[in-house]
Structure 1
Amino acid sequence: MAKIDKSLYSKEEWLVIRNRRRLEKQLKKQKEQISYPVKRKSSKVAFVLGNGVSRAFVEPEVLSKLGVVYGCNALYRTFAPDYLIAVDVKMILEISKSGYQNTNTVWSNHNKAYSNIKNINYFQPSKGWSSGPTALWLAAEHGYDDIYILGFDYKGLDDHSKFNNLYADTKNYKKSNEGATFYGNWLRQTKTVIRDNKKINFTRVIAPDNYQPIELNNFENYNTIHVGDFQKIFDIS
Structure 2
Amino acid sequence: MREIVFDTETTGVNPTTGDRMVEIGCVELVNRCPTGREYHAYFNPERSMPSEAEAVHGLSTIFLSDKPLFGDKCEELLDFVGDAPLIAHNATFDFGFLNHELERCGRDPVCLSRMICTLVLARSKHPGAKHSLDALCTRFGVDRTARVKHGALLDAQLLAQVYVELTGGRQIGFSLLADASSAADIAVQATSIARPAARPVRTPRPHAPSLDELEAHAQFMSRIKDPVWASIPAS
TM range (shorter): under 0.3
Higher helix share: 2
Larger Rg: 2
TM-score (norm 1): 0.27
TM-score (norm 2): 0.27
